[in-house]
Structures are given as structure tokens and as C-alpha cells.
Amino acid sequence: MIYLPKFSKYPVVKVVKLLYNTSITMALAQFVGGSMKKLVTISRQFGSGGRIIGKIVAEKLGVKFYDKEIIEMATEESGLDKSIFEGEELRAKNSFTYGLSSAICLGESISADPMSINDRVFVAQYKVIEKIAETGEGVIVGRCADFVLKDVPGVTNIFIHAERQDRIRRCIEEYGEQPETIEELVKTYDKARENYYNYHTSFKWGDIKNYNLSLNSSYIDYEQAANLIIEYIEKRKY
């Protein structure tokens, strides 16, 4: 498989073609017919409960759950500092400065490497997600996984969203966020996820065409949402 980083619309950010070979395409052949149905990606709005729902789905399917685990794996894979991965998505809250922020944090000049730090971080996680896909199973949260695995047959891509007031309430009750700052926080995280996704892919974050199933978690609880996803996976035709 060949990954071609999306060219930035900002000329100050240099993005070059990265070519690397993986065995994922050949490995997929052995999974045709069923087991790839245990490979799920979860994209989500901030505060929608997507991470929790994804974890329940993984438990019900009996497969591994990948969220921050991808950071650990990508850190080992790339040799980059873990802190670079941990703050990557949120740094995209401003689409213009996103192309510069990582290089500045590392004390590198933009010309020091033909590929920006942002792209190096993305590619490291990209490779990890491909390796997970080679196993034929797992629930992967975020990190543009639906785009990374767009050509993999049998993968189920889910988008979890919720009404704004419910997302705010959950962030306060479940995450312990402060009521006076939570509205701005929800807005910031959603914008960061949108910018990060749109910057690195040819898709648009939240576009229903990118997903097999979109769920509004305001009207059902986490367990019910997970059960609906499991039912969809079991009943989907291909």
C-alpha cells in the first residue's frame, strides 16, 4: 500500500510523497469471508461517549481495544518522543498554525526534514494501524483509522455523535470538566479533530459517506449503542 500525504494548502509547510511497502493487501486475502468483521474504527465527537462505546464493543467482540495504545506502539515504531504524539490532535485546533507547531516544539527548522513533524507523527500511527489491520481484528478509536483502512474489505467504520447539551453534560459528569469552561472545550476539541482529519486525508471529518454507521448517543445508553454496532456488524452483507 502506498501512502501519499495530502499536500498542505499552506505553502510554508513542506509535504513530500512518502512511499513505503506493507504486506497488508496480501494479508487481507486470508481474512475475506468473515473475520475482518471484527475490525472496527470509531470516530467521534468530543463528549459523545465514543471511546467508552468502542471499548464495550471490543469487549463484546473479544478483540483488543486501541486508543492511547496506538501512541505507545507508534512511539516505539518511530523513535519520536511520546509527548509529540500525545498533543498532536489538539495542536490542530488552528488549521493554519498546525503545520508549524510541531516543528517549533521540537526546535527544528522547517527545512530540516522534507517531511513535517505532523506528517511523521501521522505516518507512524498510520503504520501501526495497518499492522493492527493485518491481524484482522481490533477496535480502533480516532487517528483517521477509517481513512487509513478505506481499502480494507469488511472493516466497519462508525461515527458517534450526540446533541451538544448532552455532550456538555457528559463532560461535566463523567470527565470532571468545569461548567464555566466546558462549552469552549467541546468546541475546541471538535475543531481540532476536524482540522487534523481534513489536513491528513482526502476525506471530510463527520461526512456520513465515510462511515458504515452513524449513531446519536443522546437517545440510547452506551451499552445499547454497543449492541446496535454489534448487531450491524453481524448482519452486514459484506
Domain extents for the chain? 44-54+62-230
C-alpha cell at 222: 452506551
What is the pLDDT at residue 115?
66
What is d(CA 189, CA 44) in angstroms, rounded to the nearest whole number?
A: 11
User: pLDDT tens, 131-171?
Assistant: 999 999 999 999 999 999 999 999 999 999 999 999 999 99
Q: Are 56 and 160 in contact (CB under 8 A)?
A: no
What is the pLDDT at residue 14?
31
Q: Is 109 exposed, middle or buried (0-12, 13-18, 19+ CB in 10 A)?
A: exposed
Nearest to 167 by CA among 40, 77, 49, 17: 49
What is the pLDDT at residue 93?
61
Superfamily in which the 44-54+62-230 domain is placed by CATH: P-loop containing nucleotide triphosphate hydrolases (3.40.50.300)
Per-residue pLDDT of the chain (238 residues; tens, 9 = 90+): 434 444 343 332 333 233 333 444 434 434 444 456 799 999 999 999 999 999 999 999 999 999 999 999 999 988 888 887 876 666 666 554 555 554 444 444 444 455 677 888 899 999 999 999 999 999 999 999 999 999 999 999 999 999 999 999 999 998 888 888 899 999 999 999 998 898 889 899 999 999 999 999 999 999 999 999 999 999 998 8
What is d(CA 187, CA 237) in angstroms, rounded to the nearest whole number?
A: 37
User: Where are the alpha helices (H) located in the chain, listed in sequence order?
Assistant: 24-28, 50-61, 68-78, 82-86, 95-106, 117-135, 145-148, 164-173, 179-200, 222-235
Q: Which residue has cell 470516530?
A: 43
